[in-house]
Amino acid sequence: MNNKIKTILFTLVILMAGTKAYGYRYDIAVENADGVTIYYKYINDGKELEVTHGNYDFLTVIVIPNEVTYKNRTRKVTSIGAMAFYDCDWLNSVTIPNSVTSIGEAAFEYCNYLPSITIPNSVTSIGEAAFCGCYNLTSVTIGNSVTSIGDHVFRGCQRLSSVNIPNSVTSIGKYAFFDCYGLTSITIPNSVTSIGKHAFYTVFLSTIISQIENPFIITGKSSDNRSFSDITFNIATLYVPKGTIDKYKATAGWKDFANIVEGNPTGIELVKDNQKEPVSYYTLDGRQINSPKSGTVVVKKQGKRIEKVLIK
């Protein structure tokens, strides 16, 4: 092969890499009523459809239909496949129909402009890293049929501030909310029986409402695989069901919380005064410090407000 041909082939490889040249694998491509083409694979012996990866570049709105008619045959859309909308940078609105029962691995990973997502009640499983790296995702509603939140599902969703988990979830996977810096509170339903390592690590929670009546063992402060950050263990308020505080104080991991309170804070009236609330500073590994040095990143606690700040 002469040098000229080698140069041409090398250039083609570079160009393909730079334009996200994917090998689309789909069975049918059908245009919605809004003119958007969605790509599908046949599943369940051809009786149902799964949304698969396709040419979704530059699309901002995706409305997934309940069913699709193609060549005079109608099939339900029951799955969003692995990496279906992976790295769709411009996507800012997704509608998932009640026909969908599963969301595959990395289905919406790195959809950087997606602001919110509602997972319908029909969905029972959310695959690993399904929404990982969705930087602008601020709000998530998880339907009441989801039984497991997989590993890394919301990892790196740094602006996520609101998560609504229903009573069907039994497991929260490892690293599920890792690096979700905007999350300050969470309610854990009684149905949960396991929380994976580092599930809420690097998340600086100020309030945890646990509805778990019989606490199970979680990885605590002494473990490198602890479920919550040292900051959370040290300064968050853990609210537990009435009559269970002794159980929590006797259960590995949960007993590491410095502030455990019986009851639910919802509906409690806060008494405010005109005095400025004191400010406390903590290192990222949970050690309290009196005078943080300029140029360091610390956790600032003022009353109920907790935030990570750079000292100037």
Q: What is the pLDDT of residues 18-72, one digit of tens each?
A: 334 345 689 999 998 889 999 999 999 999 999 999 999 889 999 999 999 999 9
- Residue 60 DSSP code: -
**Residue whose C-alpha is closest to residue 132's, from 149, 157, 159:** 157
The pLDDT of residue 277: 66
Query: In whole angstroms, what is the distance from residue 7 CA to residue 145 CA?
Result: 55
Considering the domain boundaries, does residue 152 fall inside one?
no
Considering the domain boundaries, does residue 288 fall inside one?
yes
Percent of the chain past pLDDT 90, that is, above it, reads 68
Considering the domain boundaries, does residue 268 fall inside one?
no
**pLDDT (mean) for 107-128:** 94
The pLDDT of residue 51: 98
Considering the domain boundaries, does residue 300 fall inside one?
yes
Neighbouring CB atoms inside 10 A of 248's CB total: 19
**Residue whose C-alpha is closest to residue 28's, from 15, 36, 18, 38:** 38
**Residues 145 and 169: beta-carbon distance below 8 Å:** no
**pLDDT bracket for residue 272 (50, 70, 90):** very low
Considering the domain boundaries, does residue 33 fall inside one?
no
The pLDDT of residue 144: 87
**pLDDT bracket for residue 7 (50, 70, 90):** very low
Considering the domain boundaries, does residue 165 fall inside one?
no
pLDDT at 273 > cutoff 80: no
Average of per-residue pLDDT values in the chain: 86
15 three-state secondary structure: helix
Considering the domain boundaries, does residue 294 fall inside one?
yes
Is beta strand 73-80 parallel, antiparallel or unpaired with respect to 67-70?
A: antiparallel
Structural domains in the chain (count):
1
**Residue whose C-alpha is closest to residue 107's, from 80, 133, 143:** 80
Question: Which strands form 297-302's sheet, in the order they lie side by side?
Answer: 288-289, 279-282, 297-302, 305-310
Considering the domain boundaries, does residue 290 fall inside one?
yes
Mean pLDDT: which of 209-213, 266-270, 300-304 is highest?
Answer: 209-213
**pLDDT bracket for residue 253 (50, 70, 90):** very high
Query: In whole angstroms, what is the distance from residue 309 CA to residue 282 CA?
Result: 10
Domain coverage including residue 296? 279-310
